[in-house]
Amino acid sequence: MARKAFMIDSSRCTACRSCQVACKQWNKLPADAAINWGSYENPPSLTAHLYNKIEFIEKEQDGKFKWLFLNQRCLHCGEAGCLKVCPSTGALFRTEEGLIGFNKDKCISCKYCVNGCPFDVPRYDAQGKITKCHGCIDRVAAGLQPACVKACPTGSLKFGDRDKLISEAELTGLKLYGDKALSGLGAMYLLEEKPQEYRLAENPNIPQSIFLWKDVIKPLGILGFWGAIGAVMLHYVTVGPKRPDEDDSSNQNQGGEKHE
């Protein structure tokens, strides 16, 4: 099946937050208490009950105040750090549409995914189970749009065939973010400014430490273990054990074979 994706046109976003509300409604998520921290952006970060969120980025341009709005969520990476580190097969999984879902029953609360994610997206709920945007895989499987996309009144959020969304995006003249990164993100952005202005990494990647851990150390570990086993076996049958001098034969308990 052709890969499906979100296309998030930041220039069309009015920060109405219909997407946040629709997500909570569909996924039956309770509200988080807002806090006063000097911004309309609330809650300040994704939570276990908040799978997507509008970031309110405040800018000054030519002496005028300007807002940049960005819908923050799981970006359903083609090469996903969370899937790379998850020890429990099926706790995180990729659907045939390319979205990354989760199964709380299989989650073992190790929190590796939190650290494997290039975008700091996964959160843990009060029961110690993973939560994040799953792209409404249940709706998508039934041929529906994800709840946030369905609710978006400006067309800022789109969902559909990934290749088609990219070719449409190229006509807008805006900067396309995420078409190539991490084997292609499953949620791409159309930006008016540089990615850094939106608190996005210019070249997002699996964290280096996580790459070393899973792609270098782990294979070396397999090699190291079997290498060591092989080496000692080889040593035993070639050089052989170092037996104490055999003049003290009354104390030999090593059987009949003698070296030297």
Partner 1 sequence: MSNYVKRFSAFDRVVHWVLAVAFFVLLFSGLALFAHTFFNYFDFFGGPQQGILAHKIAGIFFLITSVLLFFTQIKDTCRFDADDAKWFGAFGGYLSRSKIDIPQGKFNAGQKLYAIFAIIAATVLGLTGYVIWDPTAMERGLTQWSLMLHGLFFVLIIVGAVIHIYLATIGNPGTAEGMLWGRVRRVWAKKHASKWYKEVTGDSD
Which positions touch partner 1 (CB under 8 A)? 87-89, 108-112, 114-115, 120, 124, 207, 209-210, 212-213, 217-218, 220-221, 224-225, 227-229, 231-232, 235-236, 239-248, 250-251, 254, 259-260
d(CA 114, CA 131): 10
User: What is the residue type of 79?
Assistant: E
Tokens of 43: 């809650």
Query: Cβ 178 to partner 1, closest distance in Å?
Result: 21
Nearest to partner 1 of 180, 218 (CB atom)? 218
Residue 5: CB minimum distance to partner 1, A: 26
Output 43 or 207, the one with its CB closest to partner 1: 207
What six digits make up the tokens of 149? 């996309």
The minimum distance between CB 114 and partner 1, in angstroms, equals: 6
Q: Shortest distance, CB of residue 204 to partner 1, whole angstroms?
A: 14
Nearer to partner 1, 87 or 143 (CB): 87
As measured in angstroms, the least distance from the Cβ of 126 to partner 1 is 13
Beta strands in 151-223 (DSSP E): 157-161, 175-177, 187-191
What Rg, from alpha-carbon coordinates, does the chain have? 27
Is residue 125 packed enough to be buried (19+ CB in 10 Å), middle (13-18) or exposed (0-12)?
Answer: middle
Please say which residue, 11 or 88, places its beta carbon nearer to partner 1. 88
Distance CA(197)–CA(35), nearest Å, equals 24
Which amino acid makes up residue 194? K
- The nearer residue to partner 1, 171 or 232, going by C-beta atoms, is 232
